[in-house]
Amino acid sequence: MNTANGLQYSQKRQEDLQRLKNFRLLDDDFCTKVFEDIECVELLLRIILKIDDLKVIEVHSQHNMKNLQGRSARLDIFAIDSAGNVLNVEIQRSDQGAVPRRARYHSSLIDANVTEPGDKYERLPESFVIFITENDVMESGLPLYHINRVVEETGNYFGDDAHIIYVNSQIQDETTLGRLMHDFSCTDPSDMNYKILADRVRYFKSDEKGVLIMCRMLEEMRNETALETTKDFALRLIVRGKDTPEEIAEITNLPLAEINHLKETQQI
């Protein structure tokens, strides 16, 4: 590594360490690493759902949900509990990212992905889509908002077992949920209420191995961003129509196969 590259690496490393220091659980990239741990997810869900004996048997972070006919989605946290219920937790600092139709779409996409051809509707699992928001997007000053379908004429619960919950992280009182939302806003694990979360946050912020994992993740995110920027540039060249695929591949350093794929996507 030459001197210039060494200085650039050192600068990026310091920037990453500073960024890591300022991370909170409300930052979804950091949150998804912390909640790869089943016990942390259990704590989170037990408090939000008020089910003290909830047991998580499977958890995935940054989980891809495919839709072959339309838009796919990457779920921040996807879990399955011992009762077979499926649960999706999304962290949203932006109000725009927590719009009701996004919650609806996540719910429908989960249903489509957890069923097999020929499954009876009765076997469709109970589902929970939970949005933890930095702001009170419902604007009613409540800590929790439960959204369930009802029959308008009677007011009775519809009973489809598809639940949407919004958690307002602005409410940080002395309830179990308020103390949890306080922890979501902390940058220093020493200020957190729940030891299991504090220990996990401390691992990624202070432990040598944990810090290395986070720095690698940040580097991967930079590379992904750079790749997407290059693809966008290649797509603009394709739309312009003045360069051959081979020329675009040479200009962008992307494989010719990728250029042809982008071209096919543009034509669809």
**pLDDT tens, position by position, 25-53:** 999 889 999 999 999 999 999 999 999 99
Please tell me whether residues 148 and 258 are part of one structural domain: no
Q: Which amino acid is at 135?
A: N
Q: Where on the phi/psi map is residue 4: left (φ > 0), alpha (ψ -120 to 50), or beta?
A: alpha
Whether residue 68 is contained in a domain is answered as yes
Please tell me whether residues 178 and 263 are part of one structural domain: no
Of 154, 181, 206, which closes a domain?
Answer: 206
Structural tokens at position 107: 């719910």
Tell me the per-residue pLDDT of 188-232, one tens digit each, with 9 for 90 and over: 999 999 999 999 999 999 998 988 888 887 777 777 777 788 888
Please tell me whether residues 106 and 60 are part of one structural domain: yes
Structural tokens at position 141: 């000053």
Q: Which domain holds residue 119?
A: 3-206
Please tell me whether residues 49 and 111 are part of one structural domain: yes
Please tell me whether residues 193 and 233 are part of one structural domain: no
Please tell me whether residues 64 and 180 are part of one structural domain: yes
Please tell me whether residues 198 and 234 are part of one structural domain: no
Whether residue 213 is contained in a domain is answered as no
Please tell me whether residues 134 and 47 are part of one structural domain: yes
* Cα separation, 192 vs 189, whole angstroms: 5
Domains in the chain: how many in total? 2
Whether residue 181 is contained in a domain is answered as yes
Please tell me whether residues 202 and 222 are part of one structural domain: no
Please tell me whether residues 189 and 246 are part of one structural domain: no
DSSP states of the chain as a string?
--HHHHHHHHHHHHHHHHHHHH--TTSHHHHHHHTTSHHHHHHHHHHHHT-TT--EEEEEEEEEE--TTS--EEEEEEEEETT--EEEEEEESSGGGG-HHHHHHHHHHHHHHS--TT--GGGPPPEEEEEEESS-TT-S--SEEEE--B-TTT--B----EEEEEEETT---SSHHHHHHHHHT-SSGGG-S-HHHHHHHHHHHHSHHHHHHHHHHHHHHHHHHHHHHHHHHHHHHHHHT-S-HHHHHHHHT--HHHHHHHHHHHH-
Whether residue 198 is contained in a domain is answered as yes
Q: Which amino acid is at 199?
A: D
The pTM of the full predicted model, rounded to 2 decimals, is 0.79
Residue 268 in this model has a pLDDT that exceeds 50: no
Of 162, 183, 206, which closes a domain?
Answer: 206
Please tell me whether residues 142 and 202 are part of one structural domain: yes
Structural tokens at position 40: 């942390």
Whether residue 212 is contained in a domain is answered as no
* Confidence band, pLDDT 50/70/90 cuts, at residue 3: low
Whether residue 242 is contained in a domain is answered as yes
Please tell me whether residues 98 and 193 are part of one structural domain: yes
* Cα separation, 125 vs 109, whole angstroms: 13
